[in-house]
A = this chain, B = another copy of it.
Amino acid sequence: MWDFEEVTSEEIAQQRERYEPLTTSVRELIDATLRTEVDDDAVASARADVDAATAKLRFLQRDGALGIGLTPDGETVAWGNVAIGTRNPLAPPLVVEYDSPGRAYLDVELGAAYEGPPGHLHGGYGALVLDHLLGAVASYNNPDTAAATGTISFRYHRLTRLGQLHAEAEIQSTDGRKIIVVGHIADAEGVTVTAEGLFITLRQ
């Protein structure tokens, strides 16, 4: 179903060493761009630096999206993924940790760049985080397959404060190719959004 690109573990390590520090720097720049209050001249000077960097990077570039790499050992790497991609400055990135094959969590700091209501997380970004985490749980339990989201629903109990957040998900039930996963996201004061997803196992 999905097209993977063949890569080796050595190539992954080399790419990581070459490009991830740049991505980290661009994430810092995103936050600085958003929160800066410097004057016209300083903005113009910073912008010239940014455009110079872009020109250097565009000198040789891939055509289109980065896709997912797959090693002979079955390791995958989703460089450009908007949620977890370690080469994607848009990704926080999320890092999913597994307690067991059917249960996972993540901890992430989401600051000024993830705002919706003043001082709070955009509700849609909470949905993105939970969609990713629930999908990761549904897929992990099936090493030879991937799970696609069929339906997913979210209940917003209250607004989520920007800052350090924690999310959890676990498989509630499995019926043939259907997997139901539930989860939540929480800020320092407790659970703010709950989610339930129905995922469908697809054979690779």
Contacts and interface: CB of A to CB of B under 8 A. Distances in A.
Interface of A: 2-4, 18-19, 21-23, 25-26, 28-30, 32-40, 42-43, 45-47, 49-54, 56-68, 78-83, 85, 87-90, 111-119, 122-125, 127-132, 135, 148-156, 159, 162
Q: Chain B CB within 10 Å — which of A78, A151, A156 has the most? A: A156
A37 B59 CA distance: 8
A36 B19 contact: yes
Contact of A118 (B60, B68, B159): B68
How many monomers of this protein are in the complex? 2
A118 B67 contact: yes
Given A35-B63, A49-B49, 9 more contacts: A19-B43, A22-B46, A32-B57, A36-B61, A42-B57, A80-B112, A80-B113, A124-B130, A152-B154
Contacts of A119: 3, 64-65, 67
A26 B5 CA distance: 29
Contacts of A34: 66, 79-80, 85, 87-89
Given A128-B125, A153-B153, A154-B153, A47 B21 contact: yes
